[in-house]
């Protein structure tokens, strides 16, 4: 098995060329002729191998990964359990199409999802390829099950780049600009954003509910769709009580509560799902990213009575629940469980929070530090204000990259730095990354 070969990737960050190095620069030139300019890279080093929390580029630089490919390799790169499961499945068969001739691993993934997602009610699932596709299908199911059309989404939301999910996503640039027309019957209401609005969870929920009732009308609403911790929008953790109040309102009004856990799910926040921190039980959960340790797989899991209302053949797709991706998901879920990575996420939270809070006292540009588990961010402001400071975020990301650390920016105003390390990151690696980050923040204005 591949996993028994000793990995050539070291465990330490090591920058051996200028960044990007000569081989990466050559590849980048090659790419310009054939890859659409619509795709960009924040950090154009070309990767040839990865292990744990380190990715190595074609020039031999060992780069510390504090992004996990946007919250995907939560179990770490090149995890032996995942490599073995994927290799065995590739050798057995790679595709039949679940709608043509089924296979066990699809069913086994759905069994895991029924058990792991919040609530003890009966649940069924459908598997897809990407997060966007999962969200689209959750909306389809909610509309069919309720016979209603309106979908409620929030300020700062991110749900994808397909036509329907672009409409659900809040931010115009770069996701939506000139890509319209957009899907109808989508209504955006105010999010709880404690750092900027100062409202309690109850107050923010009252505001959002009033907006829905006045502008849409509860009886027209099929679903309320929300990221329990917003990802691309800036790692916004709603004030305590916001999610439970919305959940209660949806139950009272026959509205489907859809939790988009695509970025926050699978132990990322120190629990299996971010809604668990407030004991919210969604009617439907959308998942992807961390679910399958790097293989493309997404899922919609929900109350059986909603999910099973769909007519025969109403859900599907050629590749959804592909056997290799399903094998990766089963191995990933077992690894998360066996290595107790949910507890590790909480340890990572303690280490990062301590580092960032200390740094915040020292510098004038960190306005807020927030997040849960291994999903933590800080918001950059102009000193003495809450005005967004996107220039500082840019400068911090660039400094980190130059020093061999992957750090990602996010936020409606581009002024938030987010940390999403693989949960197998060691304390030494994490402290090293935080040191680089601290220097990056100190040199920014």
Which residues in this chain contact ligand PLZ in the complex, by CB under 6 A?
70, 130-132, 135, 158-161, 227, 231-232, 260, 262-263, 288
Residue 77: alpha-carbon gap to chain centroid: 17
| Closest residue to ligand PLZ: CB criterion | 131
Least distance from C-beta 351 to ligand PLZ, angstroms? 24
Least distance from C-beta 398 to ligand PLZ, angstroms? 18
Residue number, 355 or 413, with CB nearest to ligand PLZ? 413
Task: Determine phi and psi for 88, rounding to 5 degrees.
Answer: -65, -40
Residue number, 284 or 434, with CB nearest to ligand PLZ? 284
Task: Determine phi and psi for 371, rounding to 5 degrees.
Answer: 130, 180
Contacts for 413 with CB less than 8 Å, ≥ 6 apart: 234, 388, 390
Torsion, Cα of 306, 291, 259, 124 (10° steps): 10
Residue with tokens 């995942």: 82
Residue number, 81 or 227, with CB nearest to ligand PLZ? 227
Least distance from C-beta 371 to ligand PLZ, angstroms? 14
The residues facing 406 across adjacent strands are 65
Residue number, 292 or 441, with CB nearest to ligand PLZ? 292
Residue number, 202 or 390, with CB nearest to ligand PLZ? 390
Least distance from C-beta 330 to ligand PLZ, angstroms? 20
Least distance from C-beta 137 to ligand PLZ, angstroms? 12
Least distance from C-beta 294 to ligand PLZ, angstroms? 12
| Neighbour tally for 364: CB within 10 Å | 13
328 close to 293: Cβ distance less than 8 angstroms: yes
Least distance from C-beta 169 to ligand PLZ, angstroms? 8
Alpha carbons 76 and 332: distance in angstroms, whole number = 10
Q: How far is CA 328 from CA 129, 130, 163, in A?
A: 13, 15, 29
Residue number, 138 or 369, with CB nearest to ligand PLZ? 138
Least distance from C-beta 188 to ligand PLZ, angstroms? 15
Alpha carbons 389 and 429: distance in angstroms, whole number = 28
Buried b (16+ CB within 10 A) or exposed e, 386-419: eebbeebbbbbbbbbbebbbbbbbbbbbbbbbbb
Least distance from C-beta 265 to ligand PLZ, angstroms? 9
Residue number, 290 or 388, with CB nearest to ligand PLZ? 290
Alpha carbons 205 and 223: distance in angstroms, whole number = 16
Alpha carbons 133 and 320: distance in angstroms, whole number = 9
Residue number, 21 or 231, with CB nearest to ligand PLZ? 231
Least distance from C-beta 165 to ligand PLZ, angstroms? 7
Residue number, 288 or 425, with CB nearest to ligand PLZ? 288
Residue number, 73 or 130, with CB nearest to ligand PLZ? 130
Contacts for 440 with CB less than 8 Å, ≥ 6 apart: 395, 396, 397, 399, 400, 403, 407
Residue with tokens 């990301």: 397
Residue number, 58 or 223, with CB nearest to ligand PLZ? 223
CA angle 403, 15, 37 (to 5 degrees): 70
Least distance from C-beta 135 to ligand PLZ, angstroms? 6
């Amino acid at each position: 098995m591949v996993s028994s070969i000793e990995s050539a990737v070291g465990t330490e960050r090591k920058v051996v060329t200028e960044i990007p190095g000569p081989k990466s620069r050559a590849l980048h030139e090659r790419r310009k002729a054939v890859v659409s300019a619509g795709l960009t890279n924040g950090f154009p080093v070309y990767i040839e191998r990865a292990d744990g929390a380190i990715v190595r580029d074609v020039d031999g630089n060992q780069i510390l990964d504090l992004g996990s490919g946007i919250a995907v390799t939560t179990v770490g790169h090149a995890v032996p359990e995942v490599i073995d499961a994927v290799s065995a499945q590739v050798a057995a068969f790679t595709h039949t199409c679940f709608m043509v001739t089924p296979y066990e691993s699809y069913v086994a993934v759905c069994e895991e999802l029924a058990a792991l997602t919040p609530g003890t009610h009966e649940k069924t699932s459908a598997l897809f390829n990407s997060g966007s596709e999962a969200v689209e299908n959750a909306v389809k199911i909610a509309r069919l099950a309720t016979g209603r059309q309106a979908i409620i989404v929030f300020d700062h939301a991110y749900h994808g780049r397909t036509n329907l999910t672009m409409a659900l996503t809040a931010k115009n640039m770069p996701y939506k600009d000139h890509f319209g027309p957009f899907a109808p019957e989508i209504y955006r209401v105010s999010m709880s954003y404690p750092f900027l609005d100062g409202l309690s969870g109850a107050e923010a929920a009252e505001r959002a509910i009033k907006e829905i009732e006045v502008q849409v009308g509860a009886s027209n609403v099929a679903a309320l769709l929300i990221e329990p911790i917003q990802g691309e929008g800036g790692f916004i953790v709603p004030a305590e009580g916001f999610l439970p109040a919305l959940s209660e309102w949806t139950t009272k009004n026959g509205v489907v509560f859809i939790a988009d856990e695509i970025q926050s799910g699978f132990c990322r926040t120190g629990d299996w799902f971010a809604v668990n921190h407030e004991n919210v039980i969604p009617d439907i959960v959308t998942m992807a990213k961390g679910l399958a340790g790097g293989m493309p797989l997404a899922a919609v899991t929900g109350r059986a009575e909603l999910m099973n209302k769909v007519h025969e053949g109403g859900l599907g797709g050629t590749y959804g629940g592909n056997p290799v991706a399903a094998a990766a998901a089963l191995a990933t879920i077992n690894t998360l469980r066996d290595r107790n990575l949910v507890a590790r996420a909480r340890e990572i939270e303690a280490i990062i929070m301590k580092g960032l809070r200390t740094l915040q006292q020292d510098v004038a540009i960190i306005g807020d530090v927030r997040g849960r588990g291994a999903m933590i961010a800080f918001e950059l402001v102009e000193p003495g204000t809450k005005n967004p400071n996107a220039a500082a975020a840019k400068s911090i990301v660039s400094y980190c990259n130059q020093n061999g650390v992957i750090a990602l920016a996010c936020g409606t105003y581009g002024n938030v730095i987010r940390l999403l390390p693989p949960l197998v990151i060691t304390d030494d690696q994490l402290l090293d990354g935080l040191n680089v980050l601290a220097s990056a923040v100190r040199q920014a204005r």
